[in-house]
Structure 1
Amino acid sequence: MQKRWLVGGLALATVMLAGCQSLGWSGDALRTEPVVKSVHEPDCEGDGCANVNAAYLRFPESPQLSDELERRLFGLASGLSDSPDGNAMGQARSFDAFADQVFAAARSARQDVPELPGFEADLRADIVADRDDLLVIELDGYLYSGGAHGLPLTSYMVISRDTQQVVDLDDMLLPGQRPAYEAALKRAHQRWLKSDQASGLSEMQWPFALSDNVAPLADGLAVKYQVYDLAPYAAGQPQLMIPYAELDGVLEARYLP
């Protein structure tokens, strides 16, 4: 009788597990699902209409992280323009609200310059690392508002699996170690100046600048800059790498490999 109950219990557990998997349950609090949205400016025809596209992620088990990712992703647009009510772009908390801001900015710009090309906003969020209980997401935006070229923007979002919280550079640094981080970043900048990407740059014209936009990747701590931060637009978005060997005693041990 005991063996019959054991077999029956195992069979029931197998059925329940299969059912959970069929519903997409995996037990991972940081499980992600893709979100893809695209919208054309309503009631607008021709080349001057605005378009908004987004391909990002949501956390089915963690709505607060989904909200935070959207806040950060749509916040990349803060420098695009001003909305008609005077509030800065990039304050939207949903795709629809963000698209409405872009469309309002496009309509306002066309009133001044009717032949202005259409605004474009393309946003993405992708996982670039999942290591040592850290999930690293890269948020990318490309925003075009009628100039000679669009504006690429990148921001990192680092999430601790232990706490399911977003962590920033200050959370990663040991107490009192920011000067050591800045010194390591300056050394990384000197190495970058010798790269092909920085070829021909004048350090006097494009001096070193600090950045807290960091991601703990497999090969080291990546520090991402926006265009014009360290170099002209043609040089793109520089990424400096700090080897973990230079960050021993600078970063908390759990952020080192």
Structure 2
Amino acid sequence: MSLLKIASMTCIALTLGACQSVFQASAPKPLAITPDASEQLKAGCKGQDCPLVNIDTVHFADEPKLDALIEARLLKMTVNSPQDKVAPSLNAYREQFLRTAQSRYSSYLQAKVREQHDGLVIVELSSYLDTGGAHGMPGRGFINYSRKDQKEVTLQDMLVPGQEKAFWAAGKVAHNNWLISTRFGNDPEFVKTWPFQQTPHVALLKDNVVLKYDVYSIAPYSEGHVELKIPYSRLNGILKPEWFPAQGQ
């Protein structure tokens, strides 16, 4: 009996997901993650109001391009005005910040792996700059890293050409669902003041595509970083087939 016939007979007895797994290559083993966390105060300073820099990141011995990309993106998040220049490294940023920081200033930078699936590594980036005001300014971002292509997957890479408008229409549906699930759905003033917007923060998670928002974008500061979730079922014909999570893996 031929291998093809055996596979076909096997598929009759199995579910569709299991049948697909007969033909799909096994999912790659998740990358090993090495944490790298440190906190440093301004030299010679003592007390609770000392300036500090806290950096909590990750490293991948087998993916130097991802390592470099994470550092570059974290450094970009430290730029808060047109006059700011990107430091050449995280160590250089730390030294620069502490050298010029005033009392009560602090800077936090974090990179964490949100998920690994289907040859993708989803890294979530966070920043928080406190310059002594009522509250600091937080930032967020994502890296969708393709291990196969050894590069970041951008929104343009994800979408079928010409489908960007349809993608954001699906995002607006997710926004409406979020409004309904919160106390804001019955508040016309809130809906008018905080309308749906596009965001640069898009993540290809295993269960859904997530849109993450900076504070003050679609909700007040007190609501933090709102996440909207788009089911993959809504993205047929919009998202390129290679970015749908594989079945049976």
TM-score interval, smaller chain? 0.7 to 0.9
How many angstroms apart in 1 are the aligned matches of 2:241 and 2:76? 31
Matching residue's letter, 1:102 = F
- Would you say 1:125 and 2:111 are equivalent positions? yes
Task: Kindly report the root-mean-square deviation, in angstroms, between the aligned alpha carbons of the 2 structures.
Answer: 2.2
User: Does the aligned pair in 2 maintain the 1:136–1:215 contact within 8 Å?
Assistant: yes
Matching residue's letter, 1:69 = I
Aligned to 2:52: 51
How many angstroms apart in 2 are the aligned matches of 1:227 and 1:35? 27
Give, in angstroms, the shift of residue 131 of structure 1. Answer: 0.9
- Would you say 1:212 and 2:200 are equivalent positions? yes
User: Does the aligned pair in 1 maintain the 2:65–2:151 contact within 8 Å?
Assistant: no
Aligned length: 216
User: TM-score w.r.t. structure 2 length?
Assistant: 0.79
Identity across the alignment (%):
35
Q: For 1:136-162, what per-residue CA distance to the aligned partner results, in whole angstroms no more than 9, with x for missing partners?
A: 011112221111112222111111121
Q: For 1:108-161, what per-residue CA distance to the aligned partner results, in whole angstroms no more than 9, with x for missing partners?
A: xxxxxxxxx511212221111111111101111222111111222211111112
Aligned to 1:111: none
Aligned to 1:96: 91
- Would you say 1:242 and 2:230 are equivalent positions? yes
- Note the 1:152-231 alignment, pairs <5 A: 152-196=138-182, 198=184, 200=187, 202-231=190-219
User: TM-score w.r.t. structure 1 length?
Assistant: 0.77
Matching residue's letter, 1:98 = Y
Aligned to 1:60: 61
Matched position secondary structure for 1:185: helix
Q: Which runs of 5+ in 2 are unaligned?
A: 1-27
Q: Which runs of 5+ in 1 are unaligned?
A: 1-26, 108-116
Matching residue's letter, 1:154 = R
Give, in angstroms, the shift of residue 33 of structure 1. Answer: 1.6
Matching residue's letter, 1:204 = K
The structure showing larger relative contact order (alpha-carbon pairs under 8 Å, at least 6 residues apart) is 2
User: Does the aligned pair in 2 maintain the 1:30–1:61 contact within 8 Å?
Assistant: yes
How many angstroms apart in 2 are the aligned matches of 1:65 and 1:30? 11
How many angstroms apart in 2 are the aligned matches of 1:103 and 1:122? 12
How many angstroms apart in 2 are the aligned matches of 1:248 and 1:93? 41
Aligned to 1:256: 244
How many angstroms apart in 1 are the aligned matches of 2:145 and 2:47? 42
Matching residue's letter, 2:58 = L
Matched position secondary structure for 2:78: helix
Residues 1:28 and 1:219: Cα distance change in structure 2 (over 3 Å): closer
How many angstroms apart in 1 are the aligned matches of 2:58 and 2:242? 25
